[in-house]
Amino acid sequence: MDLSTVAGLAIAGLAGWLTYRAATTGYRYYKATPQQRLRIRHAWWVRRRWNKLSANVGLVRIDENTKGRKGMNGKAVKPTTVRPRIKVIPEPYGLRVIVRTIAGVGQAEFERAAQWLADAWICDSVEVHRVTPGTLELRCLVGNPLDERREYDWPQAGDWRLPIGHNPWGRQISVPLRQLSGIKVAGLPGYGKTFLMLGWLASLAHAGGPLVQFALFDGKSSDPRYGDWGEVGQRALFLVGDNPETAHQRLTELVRLVKDRPGRLVAERGHPQFWKQGPTFENPLVLVLMDECHNYVDSSGLRGKEKELIESNQRLMRVLAKEGRGLGVIPVLATQKQTGDAIPTAVRDNLEVGISFACFTLEGAEAALGSGIRKDEPNWPTALVDKDRNVGVCVVTGVPGLDGQYDRVRVGDIEEDLVLEVVGSSFGDRREIIPAEGPTLRKVTDEPSQSTTGSAAPAGASDPQPKAPPKPRRASRKTAADNDQDDRKAG
């Protein structure tokens, strides 16, 4: 086969490939909707301008190996300019650009040039994400995709998750319940915290039936029957108002449930792993929803017995977060207090998922999102205070797929009447699961010869420590004077 034949075959193959690409591209454009066609034309325009734009924003590198070269005529040859290769993909929210990085032009350089790229590509924002070593993904948003409202993503039976909503790229965001230690929620009043939690109650009541039980703490109402949770209270094990002492009693019961559950799991399944088989009728999932939790766990400004009570509540919450994770008892704490101590660090650090609605200060957002939110300015909850646009929009961290980063989410739309209808239809699924308080054991020490092991103690119960001897009471002056008078009368 001579050279001309090989060249002809190569040209024919190239022409066929180009024809195929043009045909497939034209077919996709023909089948696309008007909005999709707009995105396709936008992607073509961005790709054509990349060679010039990359040099203008400093995303190129001069190949040092080509400096100082001379051509055949002895004249200096211009050094080679190397630029990252890109692939532009149209998306419903805007554009997705896949970048192959080069030496000296990586993630840091693209993050510095993100605002310039957004202006040049006629986008509202450009976010840079590292996909794999040497590969970046630029997400170019056109408009505000979170203005779009979508229906609530109801979970089905056996789907143990808490739906939140969709992010700017159209992905549904949910919180898996398996091995979840807990959730913390913060934000200004009126932006959707309570309704998000009511939606979770309705979704689990719908999907789980009697396999899910609820414990409700309404820190906004002195009489919770008339608060936001009053109409769904019959579905819960109990409904507590804003009294920290009553909350302490109920938290103690929940901790008793956590301590008692391993034995019940072993009796039912032969092992203490709750999520190995999931919730059952004998050992249901327990979701603890605590609205305005700072009324129960914030000890700032308190002293004496009040502070001791709050600190005791904090200890009980730590037990729920640490030990309840693998036993099917999951706390959800919500607060509107705009300080970092709204949820104490000892409690907050044990709750892995954070959600924050609009906040006036970053300190308030840290109550749910942690200190790392200060480094992620595009996702600051302080930018969500416009109530006309951002009611139901929140910032999320700790859910699978985010790799410890932050994301904005629009909560799915759900009618309040539907929530009450779904929860009301499951009132019959409520049942008592709190174990009874065990008897208090005391060691007999009055008679040394009496055996203290004559009565059998429950299995696993530890011997109680003997009480310290009571301190002698100091007599008052009045008592001493009365005693002197009695002695004179006797004399």
Label residue 299 by pLDDT band (50, 70, 90). Answer: confident
Whether residue 80 contacts residue 66, with contact meaning beta carbons closer than 8 Å, is answered with: yes
Give the CA distances from residue 28 to residues 25, 33, 93, in Å, rounded to whole numbers and listed in that order.
5, 10, 18
Q: What is the CATH number of domain 23-143?
A: 3.30.980
Helix H, strand E, coil C: the string for 412-437 is CECCHHHHHHHHHCCHHHCCCCCCCC
* Interval 35-50 mean pLDDT: 90
| pLDDT at site 444 | 44
Residues 6+ apart with CB under 8 A from 395: 355, 356, 365, 369, 373, 379, 380, 381, 384, 406, 407, 408, 409
How does pLDDT run across 390-417, given as a tens digit for each residue?
999 999 999 887 777 899 999 999 898 9
434, exposed or middle or buried, with CB in 10 Å at 0-12, 13-18, 19+?
middle
| pLDDT at site 450 | 41
* Interval 93-107 mean pLDDT: 91
Residues 6+ apart with CB under 8 A from 228: 194, 198, 218, 220, 221, 291
Helix H, strand E, coil C: the string for 16-65 is HHHHHHHHHHHHHHHHCCHHHHHHHHHHHHHHHHHHHHHHHCCCCEECHH
| pLDDT at site 469 | 38
Is 80 exceeded by the pLDDT of residue 57? yes
Determine which helix (DSSP H) or strand (DSSP E) holds 292, and give its type and residue range: none
Separation CA 237–CA 229 (nearest Å) = 13
Q: Tokens standing for 325?
A: 């994770």
| pLDDT at site 340 | 59
DSSP states along 446-487:
S-TTS-SSSSPPPTTPPPPPPPPPPPPPPPPHHHHHHHHHHH
59, exposed or middle or buried, with CB in 10 Å at 0-12, 13-18, 19+?
buried
* Interval 121-138 mean pLDDT: 90
How does pLDDT run across 337-348, given as a tens digit for each residue?
866 566 777 778
Residues 6+ apart with CB under 8 A from 21: none
How does pLDDT run across 279-295, given as a tens digit for each residue?
999 999 999 999 998 88
* Interval 127-145 mean pLDDT: 89
Label residue 62 by pLDDT band (50, 70, 90). Answer: confident
| pLDDT at site 467 | 37
How does pLDDT run across 376-394, given as a tens digit for each residue?
888 899 999 988 889 999 9
Is 60 exceeded by the pLDDT of residue 40? yes
Whether residue 162 contacts residue 172, with contact meaning beta carbons closer than 8 Å, is answered with: no
Domain ranges for the chain: 23-143, 146-429
Q: Tokens standing for 158?
A: 């056996």
Label residue 304 by pLDDT band (50, 70, 90). Answer: confident
Nearest to 251 by CA among 434, 21, 83, 34: 434
How does pLDDT run across 447-491, given as a tens digit for each residue?
444 433 333 333 333 333 433 434 433 334 344 444 444 444 444
Separation CA 163–CA 476 (nearest Å) = 65
| pLDDT at site 170 | 83
- pLDDT > 70 fraction of the chain, expressed in percent and rounded: 88
- Report the amino acid identity of residue 184: K
Separation CA 74–CA 28 (nearest Å) = 51
Q: What are phi and psi of 238, to 5 degrees?
A: -160, 160
Q: Is 138 helix (H, G, I), strand (E, B) or coil?
A: strand
* Interval 182-195 mean pLDDT: 91
Q: What is the CATH number of domain 146-429?
A: 3.40.50.300
Separation CA 217–CA 215 (nearest Å) = 7
Label residue 240 by pLDDT band (50, 70, 90). Answer: very high
Is 90 exceeded by the pLDDT of residue 99? yes
Q: What are phi and psi of 256, to 5 degrees?
A: -60, -40
